[in-house]
Structure 1
């Protein structure tokens, strides 16, 4: 593994190593990508060990049961694999595929302020999740200047999400504030 200076580049977390798998140094991987095996599209990962991003080469990766497992260069036994438990996996953001004009990565939406079409601030995007069947949902948490202290779950669909402005850090929605 080689040391990488994260401050020198923009990185995106794609998942984490959860634990060891077997005795030959394989690790279990939890992927945030969709589909989850897309994490293996990146032959080199940045792993965060003791606050330092280090580059590690993926020798092999494959589905295992309902999850994923990987063999990493330099990780050859169970103890070395266990030492990586709960370590984040990232790649340089520049390595991510370019999206169409109206598409966004979830990490880009987290933290954006969400406004109703009438200008009321509903809150800030805390997280997004897939509710099944390809339906994405924004979890919107209240802020000190939002209209109330409620948490909202708003579907991320074109009929409701009217505009995403990454430069302004906001999303405009047509969503009844009483929901």
Structure 2
């Protein structure tokens, strides 16, 4: 890539999307936006990408809808070969760019690393990821096991009926859920 190394990379990186395949021969690229409204990804600038162990800052010079996709044109990316090098890389912004939330609200990224306990205080594990479904999110909880070769994961629906409390200060999520061991 012919971009310059970013000296000040995001100190609190947040993934807001993913770069898809190159589109056409002039360096346009499809993107997948993880924002609630897909166009909102353009409200958060600059974008960063971590490529070949270096941080690069991306500058969107143009974007448009193409069928059901969003395609972008990046400054200094003028051909398909260069655009293809970015395929499958995350679109990253600094968390300070995100809007502040009301009391009791949080971003999903904030629950990664939280310990999950049930109503009896049994430690189920730690949130390592989340999955978006049509109706709700599901948290992926990895059980702490002494044998590192056997890591068990639980999928817990992130719905009010199951999630009782989320305390980001103590990094504890209390759930009304029993793991099947």
| Pick aligned residue for 1:105 from 85, 107, 110 | 107
**CA gap 1:129/1:82 in 2 versus in 1, 3 angstroms:** same
C-alpha distance 87-178 of structure 1, shift in aligned 2 (>3 A): closer
- Specify every segment of 5 or more residues in structure 1 that has no aligned partner in the other structure, as ranges: none
Q: Distance in 2 between matches of 1:169 and 1:31?
A: 28
Alignment-derived partner of residue 168 in structure 1: 170
Q: Give matches, 1:1-179, under 5 Å.
A: 1-5=3-7, 9-133=11-135, 135-144=136-145, 150-178=152-180
Q: Secondary structure at the match of 1:3?
A: coil
Deviation at 1:141, TM superposition (A): 2.2
* 2-structure distance, mates of 1:8, 1:150: 32
The aligned length equals 176
The RMSD of aligned alpha carbons is 2.4
Question: Secondary structure of the equivalent of 1:80?
Answer: helix
Deviations 1:119-162 (A, max 9, x none): 101112122122213x12112222227xxx65322221223212
Deviation at 1:54, TM superposition (A): 1.7
**Whole-Å separation in 2 of the counterparts to 1:114 and 1:59:** 43
Contact residue 46 and residue 55 of structure 1 kept, 8 A:
yes
Q: Structure 1 residues 144 and 150, CA, compared in 2 at 3 Å: closer, same or farther?
A: closer
The 8 Å contact of residues 15 and 93 in structure 2, kept in 1 or not, is answered as yes
- Offset at residue 8 of structure 1 (A): 6.7
Question: SS of 1:4's equivalent?
Answer: coil
Q: Distance in 1 between matches of 2:43 and 2:129?
A: 24
Cα offset, 1:2, TM superposition:
4.3
